[in-house]
Amino acid sequence: MSYAENPSAARPSGGSSPGMPSETVRTIVTLAIFVHLFIAVVVAVGAMRAPSELFIRLNLKFVTELQYPQYLLLSNFAYPLTYNRDVDYDGSAEIVLDWDAAYESQPERIPAEDRIVLFDADAIKLPIRRQRYLTLIRRMTDVAASQPPSPREIDMPKSVSKALLSDMSAMPEGVHRFRLLRIPTPAASYTDERQTPVLPPAYQGNIAIDARGNLEFVKADRTSLVAPPTPSRTPAASQIPPIGGEPGDPAVRPRSPLPLDLPGRSDGNH
Amino acid sequence: MATISLAEPLPLSERLLRPWNAFWFAPRDAATLSVMRIAVGAVALYWEASYTLDLMRFFGPDGFFPLVDVQLARGSTFPRSYFELASDRTVIWAMHGAGLVVLALFTAGLFTRITSVAALFVVLSYIHRAPAVASQAEPILAMLLLYLCLGPCGARYSIDRILQRRRAAAKPGASVASNEPGPSWTATVSTRLIQVHLAMAYAAMALAKLNDGFPLVDGEGTYHAWWMGEAAWWLAARPYSPLLDVTGGLTNNVLLVNAWTHAIVLFEAGFAIFIWRPAFRRCLLWVAVPMWLSLAVITGLAPFCLLMLVGNLAFVAPEAMQRRFGASAG
């Protein structure tokens, strides 16, 4: 058998078969697939640990400048699920009404009725809702621990505090304290006691509300926080190498490790 | 006249193009995409409905995320969410309700060509308005919805299909066979994009896990949660995240924790590579079920794990779907 009768017609170009689109359409679609998957690979690699300068620049180009919808591309994706860094811990956020400086060293003295919690894990039955609050806390912890300090480190705690206090019948006048807390995962070796080391807050801010209900938020001094006792198999919080950028910005250049006197290194792809 | 024998080797361009065209453009039935539409739509519906109790906290004018902060963080004031156009609580509630309706219609397969695009728009609106609460599930959900938009995901198992049959039955002389939805190359493009993107996600997940390692507190060595086989414990022992507390069974079972951790990484790495081999495909797809369900239990990321399972359906042949759910159903 041969194609001798009518070579050009009998031998379709590129393995074309019935039902396939025309060659022009295939070419256009092929180009689109190439471009899309290329961007997808660049963004996925860029969201991983310590990408190269080339990937950082390509990410900037595609995600930031071209405004390619990053949520279609698996950026901001916490691929590893956990490294057991402090940012991987579950956490909580609360506002302590009428903050007393003595609470700093004796948090157990904080009256339960003066605590306004971001979410009550026992009360929220729907796991997906609980995960959203935990994600929000991780994001705030991420931003709070970033070096150099992010200009956004006040914005989110401030707006969260404002919304939480607005839920009350009236904005409570006085000085209150916003606290981001981390709950270290117990190591298997001491899980029987279920006693976990207590970490200092990842972030604290003072909320001042005047008689007219105006709210002012000022970050509490980080250096007043004490380094945490951590289990020996837990990565040193202050020595964890950089993973990537701030949440929402996969293209930020990796940061240098934090100085040792800082309370906790939290960073990464949450 | 020159003759071209079949024995003659094909030109290089032909040899490259044939497998490419066969992979991306050979028409296939839309049964797989249609089943995926129902599954993705159901998860999306649950995902969106779960915002109801926190709607004003996350999207309200006095909520956690003031619009100006969100726009500042992403570096653009161009609206990427319809919630950015609303500042009134009633309007936000109406938008939420409309979103639920759109996702319900998409899941049921009514006006699927329109509702598939609208469903993607709805989901992205939620993600972009409150990105700080988005985690692993959202990128997978958005990715699946995007690719479902491209193919005829409402061609089977949908209200569209039922209506189409009724219209055809009303026509005199129409046969059942002529009314069957034929294979479509857009179904292939859509399915292949899901497959490739999903395999990429699996590879990235495995690489990220193998890429860990941080100095220990005492400075002696480096800690690798995944390499040392302890990551499953660290996930399961978190106080709030897990769906069930399984630490009781893991505490004195180091080998089980190690095996579970290594199995997760091995599976993810293996999936990205071997899912393309038909001999391994069935096995990997079945192993994925306990893998993702158990991960859902210890991570609490149920929608994410379910969506990974739904994404895996892209590797199931349309013929198998038809055998399972019926070729002529809805």
Nearest alpha carbon to residue B152 among B122, B107, B118, B113:
B113
C-alpha radius of gyration, chain B, whole number? 24
- Sign of the C-alpha dihedral, residues B151, B157, B162, B163? negative
Neighboring chain A residues of B139 at a CB cutoff of 8 Å: 71-77
Give all strands of the β-sheet with A215-219 in edge-to-edge order.
Answer: A115-117, A90-96, A174-183, A203-209, A215-219
Nearest alpha carbon to residue A192 among B240, B231, B257, B248:
B248
In this complex, which of B182, B208, B216 lies closest to A233 when CB atoms are compared? B216
Domain ranges for chain B, please list them: 27-162+183-325
Nearest alpha carbon to residue B229 among B252, B215, B210:
B210
Q: Name the band, by pLDDT with cuts 50, 70 and 90, for residue A162.
A: very high
Residuewise pLDDT in 10s, chain B (330 residues): 445 555 667 777 777 788 899 999 999 999 999 999 999 999 999 999 999 999 999 999 889 999 988 888 877 778 889 999 988 999 999 999 999 999 999 999 999 999 999 999 999 999 999 989 998 899 899 999 999 999 999 999 999 999 998 988 888 776 666 678 889 999 999 999 999 999 999 998 898 888 777 766 666 677 888 998 989 999 999 989 999 999 888 887 889 999 999 999 999 999 999 999 999 999 999 999 999 999 999 999 999 999 999 999 999 999 999 998 876 666
Q: Is the Cβ–Cβ distance between A116 and A232 less than 8 Å?
A: no
Tokens of B40: 């993705």
C-alpha span between B66 and A57 (Å, rounded): 29
C-alpha span between B43 and B112 (Å, rounded): 17
- Write down the ipTM of this complex: 0.90
User: Is A198 near chain B, with CB under 8 Å?
Assistant: no
Query: A101 to chain B, minimum CA–CA distance in Å?
Result: 27
Q: Give the number of other CB atoms < 10 A from CB of residue B160.
A: 23
CB contact under 8 A, A134 and B78: no
Sequence-separated (6 or more) residues with CB below 8 Å from residue A224: A104
CB contact under 8 A, B134 and A76: yes
* Model pLDDT, residue A40: 85
* Model pLDDT, residue B5: 54
Q: Give the number of other CB atoms < 10 A from CB of residue B316.
A: 18
Q: Name the band, by pLDDT with cuts 50, 70 and 90, for residue A85.
A: confident
User: Is A53 near chain B, with CB under 8 Å?
Assistant: no
Strand duo A115-117 + B214-215: pairing: unpaired
Chain-centre distance for alpha carbon A190: 28
* Model pLDDT, residue A261: 27
Interface test with A, best of B12, B20, B25 (most A CBs within 10 A): B25
Surface-to-core class of residue A202, CB atoms within 10 Å of its CB (0-12 exposed, 13-18 middle, 19+ buried): buried
* Block residue for tokens 């397969």: B109
Query: Between A217 and A259, where is the model more confident?
Result: A217
E strand map for B186-236: 214-215, 222-223
Torsion angle of C-alpha atoms B292, B298, B304, B309, degrees rounded to 10: 10
Nearest alpha carbon to residue A219 among A145, A168, A166:
A145
Interface test with B, best of A24, A45, A71 (most B CBs within 10 A): A71
C-alpha span between A82 and A9 (Å, rounded): 58
Number of H helices, E strands in chain A: 5, 5
**How many residue pairs bridge chain A and chain B with CB atoms within 8 Å of each other?**
267
Q: Give the number of other CB atoms < 10 A from CB of residue A89.
A: 28
Q: Is the Cβ–Cβ distance between A73 and A39 less than 8 Å?
A: yes
For residue A224, pLDDT over 70 is answered with no
Q: Name the band, by pLDDT with cuts 50, 70 and 90, for residue A230.
A: very low
Tell me the per-residue pLDDT of A179-222, one tens digit each, with 9 for 90 and over: 999 888 877 654 444 455 667 888 899 999 988 888 899 888 65
Highest mean pLDDT among A46-50, A66-70, A159-163: A159-163
Q: Give the number of other CB atoms < 10 A from CB of residue A215.
A: 16
CB contact under 8 A, B299 and A233: no
Mean pLDDT, chain A, integer: 72
C-alpha span between A183 and A245 (Å, rounded): 23
Surface-to-core class of residue B42, CB atoms within 10 Å of its CB (0-12 exposed, 13-18 middle, 19+ buried): middle
CB contact under 8 A, B134 and A135: yes
**Bond into A148 cis (ω within 30):** yes
* Model pLDDT, residue B84: 92
A 22-51: CB under 8 A from B:
26, 29-30, 33, 36-37, 40-41, 44-45, 47-49
CB contact under 8 A, A14 and B207: no
Tokens of B11: 């030109």
Q: Is the Cβ–Cβ distance between B301 and A131 less than 8 Å?
A: yes
C-alpha span between B93 and B91 (Å, rounded): 5
Tokens of A216: 């002012």
Strand partners, A209: A174, A215
* Model pLDDT, residue A18: 79
CB contact under 8 A, A20 and B185: yes
CB contact under 8 A, B197 and A15: no
Q: Give the number of other CB atoms < 10 A from CB of residue A216.
A: 11
Planar angle of CA B46, A69, B77, nearest 5 degrees: 100
Strand duo A215-219 + B214-215: pairing: unpaired
User: Is A155 near chain B, with CB under 8 Å?
Assistant: yes
Interface test with B, best of A31, A43, A72 (most B CBs within 10 A): A72
3-state DSSP assignment of residue A213: coil
Q: Is the Cβ–Cβ distance between A243 and A254 less than 8 Å?
A: yes
User: Is A135 near chain B, with CB under 8 Å?
Assistant: yes
E strand map for A124-266: 174-183, 203-209, 215-219
Across A80-97, average pLDDT: 86
C-alpha span between B265 and B288 (Å, rounded): 12
For residue A245, pLDDT over 90 is answered with no
**B199 → chain A, closest CA residue:** A41
C-alpha span between B201 and B208 (Å, rounded): 10
* Model pLDDT, residue A78: 67
C-alpha radius of gyration, chain A, whole number? 26
Query: Torsion-angle region of residue B141: left (phi > 0), alpha (psi -120 to 50) or beta?
Result: alpha
Q: Give the number of other CB atoms < 10 A from CB of residue B114.
A: 13
